[in-house]
Structure 1
Amino acid sequence: MSVTSAARGDTAQQPLAHRRPLRPVIAIGPMRLPMRTRLTVVGVCLTVIAVVLFLADIAISDYPMTLADVVRILFGGGTRVQNVIVFDVQLPRALVAALVGLGLGYAGSLTQVVTRNPLASPDMIGITAGASTFAVLAIAFGSTWGSWLAGVGVPVAAIIGAAVAAVAMYLLAWRRGIESFRLVLVGVALTWMFEAITSYLLTRAQINDAARAQQWLVGSVNNASWSDVWPLVITVAVALALVGPVSRTLSALSLGPDVAAGLGASPGRGNTLVLGLGVVISAMCVAAAGPIAFVALLAPQIGARLARTPTPTPTISGLVGATLVLLADVVCRTVLPSGLPVGIVTAAVGGPFLIYLMIRVSRKATV
C-alpha cells in the first residue's frame, strides 16, 4: 500500500498558479482510493469519543470503578466480582447501546440519501412504528390472540412488523418507480396509522402487560443481555461490509434518478436495495432496544454538518448514532433519576432538532 497525490484535472498543461490542490490517494494494488482529510479526522475523533463513552458506561454501576479499572478488567485483570459485574451486566448493556446507535445512524443515512429528504428516517416513515405495533402484540397479548407472535419472541415480532410496514410503504409509494416525496408522505401516514393501532392495543391490554409494553416503546437498554448483542453484531458486521458497494450507489442516487441513470445506476433497483438494507438494520435495532426516538433522524444530519459533506455518510452517521445513544445512557445513569430509559433523553433532544430541520427545509423550499 502506498500514498500518493492526485491532482484534479490535467495539471501538466495548466500554469502553476491555476493548478488545484493535490488530494492524497491511497494505492492498494490496482485500486486508488482518494483520501478525504476532514472526513477521516471527524471519523477518528468520533471513534475516540465513542470509546470513552463506552468505557464510562461500563464503569457506572453500584460497584465503583474507574476507566482504568474497566480497561484492566476487559483485558483479563480484576477480581472475580469485578469480572461478573463487567462481563455479565455492564458490557452487554454498553455493547447494545453502541451497536443500536451505530445501526440507527447507518439506517437513517440510507433513508435520507435515497429520499433526498433530511426529515426521512426509519422512525419517520413507518418502519419503527410497524415494528412497535407487532412488538406490543407479542408483549401485551401473548396469552391471547397474539400468542403466535409471543411464541417467536419480541425481537422476531418487531422484525416482522418492520417488514410489513416496509412492504406496505413500498406498494403504496410505487408509481412507475419510487418517487421520494411520495415515499415520505406514505411513510408519515403509515407511522400515524401504526401508532393509532398501538395506542388502541394498549387501552385493551391488562395493566401489567400495558406497563411492560409502554416501557419497551420508550426505548431502553436497561435489560440488555448477551442474547441481544449477537444479532446486532451480525447485522452491523454485514452493514459495514456493504459500505463500499452501497456508498457508490448512494452517491449516484443522491443526485436524482435521471443523473443516477446517466451514471449507470438503476434508480429503481438502487432504491429498493438501499431501503431494504435500511429496513433490516433498523428492525434489528428496534428489536434489541425498542424504538429509541430521533437517533436515526439526528445522527445523519449531525454527521453531515461535522464532516461538511453534501449528503450524510453512513459510517460517520453510524459513529454519531453510537455516540448519541452511549451519551444518553450515561446521562440517564448519572444525572437523571435511576432507571430512566435512553429514549427519554434522545426524544428531548430530537424534538427541538426536528423543528429546526422543518424550518430549514421550509426556507429552502421558498427560496
Structure 2
Amino acid sequence: MTATVRPPTTVTVGRASWVVRPRLAAASSAVAVLVIVLILIGLSVGYTTPIDVARILLGGGRVAENIVIFDDMLPRVLTAALAGFGLGLAGCLTQVITRNPLATPDMLGITTGASAGAVLALTSTSTGFGGLFAGLGVPLSALIGGLVTAALMYALAWSRGQVVTSTLRLILIGVGMTWMMQAAIGYLMSRADLHDAASAQTWIVGSLANTGWSSVPAVTVAAVIGIGWTAVIARPLTISGLGPDIARGLGVRLGFVTYGTLLAAVVVASLAVSAAGPIAFVGLIAPQIALRIGRTAQPTPVFSGLIGASIVLAADIACRSMLPGGLPVGVVTAAIGGPFLVFLIIRTARRSSV
C-alpha cells in the first residue's frame, strides 16, 4: 500500500490567492506551539513553573511575581524570540535569492557590519564622528552599519548585466567584509574605556544578559518588516528561487524582487543584531532545518523564522539552566552552527562534483 501525498490547496480571497501546503502548515503550527512552550519555560527558569507563569501572564500574579516576570524576564524572552525569528527569516531570504545555503547574513558580513555600527555607538563619546552614532543610538547605528556593509559587498561583487551576481564571488567578498568589520570592531574596542569595552565585548558575541524593554521595539519592527515583505513578495520570491531565466519567463520583475528582498534581509538582520548582538549561525541553521522539516523545494521565510526563534529560546534556556552562569547565547549557537556549516560545505561540494 503506497502512501498518498496531499496536494497543495489554493485559498482565494478576492483577487489574491495563496497556496497552502498541508505538511508545511502542520509543521509551522507545531513549531509555533513549541515557541510558546519555550517562552513559558524561559520565563520560569530559576523562579517558578511554566504553569505559574501562565497564571501570572493571565493576570493572576502577586506584585512580586509581576515585577519578576513582566519587568525582568519577559523583555529578555521576547527579545530572544523576536531576534531569533528575524535572523532565521533574514537568512532564508538571502538563501532563496542567491540559491545558496551558505549565503546568509553571517557569511555575507551583514551581521558583522551591523555589529560594527552598534559597537561604534556603544563605545563612542559625545564628540567627533562617533558622537553622531552615539546620538543615533544602537538600533539605528546597527542598521546603518549593516546597510553600508551590504552596499559595499554588493558593489564589489556586481557584474554588468547581472541582476544576481556570482554567488561564490558574493560569499567570498562577504567573508572579506566580515574580517574588515571585525578589524574595525577590534580597533573600536581598543580605543574604548574599560567599562564600555566590557559591555561591548559581552554584546558582540550575542548575549541576552542585559536586555530590557528598550530592546524589544527594534526586534518587533524587524519581525513586522520581515513578515510584511514576505506577504507582499511571496509568489515572486518563490519563482525567483527557481533561477533568473525561469523567473523572467514567468513575468517576475527580477530586479525589484532581488534588490527589495536583499534590502529587507539587511534591515531585519541589522535590527535583530541591534537588540541581541550577532547570535551566530541562526540565519544559516534555521532555514535548512525548515527546509528538511517542511519538505519544500526551498526554505520558507516565516517557518524559518519560527525555527530561528525556537533555537535562540532553547539556547537561552540552556545558558541559564544547564551551562555555566553568564555564558552568552551566541556561544551555544556557534557550537551548534560550526559543525552544521562544515556539513553544508561538504554536501554542497559533493553535489557540485556530481
TM-score over 0.5 for the pair: yes
- Of 210, 214, 217, the residue aligned with 2:201 is 214
**How far did 1:218 drift?**
0.7
TM-aligned CA deviation for residue 291 of structure 1: 0.6
Q: Is the 8 A contact 2:111 2:278 kept in 1?
A: yes
Residue type matched to 1:233 in 2?
Answer: T
Match of 1:242, SS state, is: helix
Aligned to 1:160: 144
Cα distance, 1:324 vs structure 2: 0.2
The partner residue of 1:60 within 20, 31, 45 is 45
Pick aligned residue for 2:327 from 302, 316, 340: 340
Contact 1:142/1:149 (CA < 8 Å) preserved in 2? no
For 1:22 and 1:297, the matched residues in 2 are separated by 29
1:69 alignment counterpart: 52
Indicate the SS of the match to 2:111.
helix
| Larger Rg over CA atoms | 1
Is residue 222–residue 272 contact of structure 2 (8 Å, CA) maintained in 1? no
For 1:38 and 1:328, the matched residues in 2 are separated by 26
User: How far does residue 311 in structure 1 lie from its aligned partner after superposition?
Assistant: 0.9
What's the CA shift for 1:249? Answer: 2.1
What is the distance in 1 between the residues matched to 2:5 and 2:222?
41
Cα separation, 2, equivalents of 1:328 and 1:79:
29
**CA distance change for structure 1 residues 22 and 163 in 2, over 3 Å: closer, same or farther?**
closer
Q: Is the 8 A contact 2:203 2:277 kept in 1?
A: yes
**Cα distance, 1:153 vs. partner?**
1.6
Q: Contact (CA 8 Å) 2:83, 2:219: kept in 1 or not?
A: yes
Identity of aligned residues (%): 48
Name whichever of 323-332 and 223-232 sits farther off: 223-232
Give how far 1:31 is off: 4.9
Q: CA RMSD in A?
A: 1.9
Cα distance 1:34–1:271, how it changes in 2: closer, same or farther (>3 A)? closer
Q: Is 1:264 aligned to residue 259 of structure 2?
A: no
Could you tell me how far apart the structure 1 residues matched to 2:233 and 2:217 are? 23
Partner amino acid, structure 2, of 1:94: V
**CA offsets, 1:221-259, max 9 Å, x none?**
111111211232233123212322222121121111111
2:326 is aligned with what amino acid? G
Alignment of 1:177-256 (within 5 A): 177=162, 178-181=164-167, 182-256=169-243
| Cα distance in structure 1, aligned partners of 2:7 and 2:139 | 49
Q: Deviations over 1:301-337 (max 9, x none)?
A: 1110111112110011000000000000000000012
Do 2:113 and 2:145's aligned partners in 1 also have CA atoms closer than 8 Å?
Answer: yes
How many residues get paired? 347
For residues 268-307 of structure 1, give each alpha carbon's deviation from its aligned partner in whole angstroms, at most 9, with x where no partner exists.
2221000000000001000111111100111001110111
Q: Secondary structure at 2:60's aligned position in 1? A: coil
Paired amino acid for 2:181: F
Q: Determine if the alignment matches structure 1 residue 151 to structure 2 residue 135.
A: yes
Letter in 2 for 1:164: V
Aligned ranges 1:1-367 → 2 under 5 Å: 23-29=8-14, 31-61=16-46, 64-142=47-125, 145=128, 146-176=130-160, 177=162, 178-181=164-167, 182-367=169-354
Contact 1:115–1:184 under 8 Å retained in 2: no
Which ranges of structure 2 fall in alignment gaps of 5 or more residues?
none
Any idea what the Cα deviations from partners look like across 1:130-156, whole Å, max 9, x if unmatched? 111222222233356422211222222
Deviation at residue 54 of structure 1 after TM alignment: 0.5
1:23-45 Cα deviation digits (max 9, x unpaired): 44434456553331110111011
Runs of 4+ in 1 over 4 A off after TM superposition: 19-23, 29-32
Instruction: Letter of the 2:154 partner, please give it.
Output: Y
| Structure 2 letter corresponding to 1:271 | T
AA aligned opposite 1:171? A
How high is the TM-score relative to the length of structure 1?
Answer: 0.90
**Distance in structure 1 (CA, Å) of the matches to 2:156 and 2:190:** 29
Separation (CA, whole Å) in 1 of partners of 2:251 and 2:316: 44
- Relative to the length of structure 2, the TM-score reads 0.93
Does the CA-based 8 Å contact 1:121-1:297 persist in structure 2?
yes
Secondary structure in 1 matching 2:103: coil
Instruction: Decide whether aligned partners of structure 1 residues 338 and 32 sit closer, same or farther in structure 2, where only a CA change above 3 A counts.
Output: same
Structure 1: which 5+ runs fail to align? 1-18
Deviations 1:181-235 (A, max 9, x none): 2322222221121112222333343333322221111111111111211232233
The letter for the 2-side match of 1:48 is V
CA contact (8 A) 1:328 1:345 kept: yes
In structure 2, what residue type is equivalent to 1:86?
Answer: I
SS in 1 for 2:18: strand
